Chains A and B, each alone.
Chain A
Amino acid sequence: MSFREKIHWVALFGLIVAFGWYFLAYPWTIANTQQGVWTAVGMLIPVTIIFLVPMIAGTVFFAIRTPKEANLKEDEREKTIHLRGTHMAYYPLVLGVWANIFFLINGIGFGYSVNILIATLVVSEVIRVGSQLYFYRKGA
């Protein structure tokens, strides 16, 4: 398993744990109030920490274990995997933004809108990282 693939696994784990906690713990009953919006903003701070800490720790750990691989530039296969994953993530991103526009036009509250956008980003990222891991395993 290459250095970048390991980092992708850490990123996927971090995303699922951090945003899994966010969406499970978020107080949905007050989502559409000013307090709900500020709660979302406040919760994004621990979410960022939960996501970043394993990313930094994982990167340092794997870089120490395999320093040669950590210093290698992306080769053509890795660039292809990178591009294909980003391309796949584009679709849920567009879908989520369009859904948000639709809901906003139809009078959805600001709090729900913020959470739809966060969910859109999370789903897109999970698809990006997940598909890149799939291509690392199965071939690009």
Chain B
Amino acid sequence: MAHIPFSNEIKTLRFLAGEMTQGDLGDKVGVTRQTIAAIEQGRYSPSLEVAFRIAHVFGKSLEDVFRWQDDIP
């Protein structure tokens, strides 16, 4: 499994959005609940489109949701 060089705030954002479930977010974005779980846990690197869709659901910019890890060049 390749290391994904960025972290994300999806879990926090879901909580702040009225405790939205992974399934609800998946439905809004157009992916399965398992894919949202994999993205949250850093086991899957989403496409740019899905990343934008996730950010759009929360009304945030991409960098508010996904953060490049500083220690990685």
Contact = CB atoms under 8 A, between A and B. Distances in A.
Interface of A: 1-2, 5, 69, 72, 75-78, 136, 138-140
Given A138-B1, A139-B1, A78 B35 contact: yes
B1 A75 contact: no
Given A76-B50, A77-B38, A138 B32 contact: no
B1 A69 contact: no
Contact of A75 (B2, B35, B43): B35
Given A139-B43, A139-B44, A2 B34 contact: yes
B32 A2 contact: yes
A140 B34 CA distance: 12
Contacts of B34: 1-2, 5, 77, 136
Interface of B: 1-2, 30-35, 38, 42-44, 46-47, 50
Interface centre among B2, B33, B43, B46 (most CB of A within 10 A): B43
A140 B50 CA distance: 15
B63 to A, nearest CB: 21
Contacts of B43: 138-140
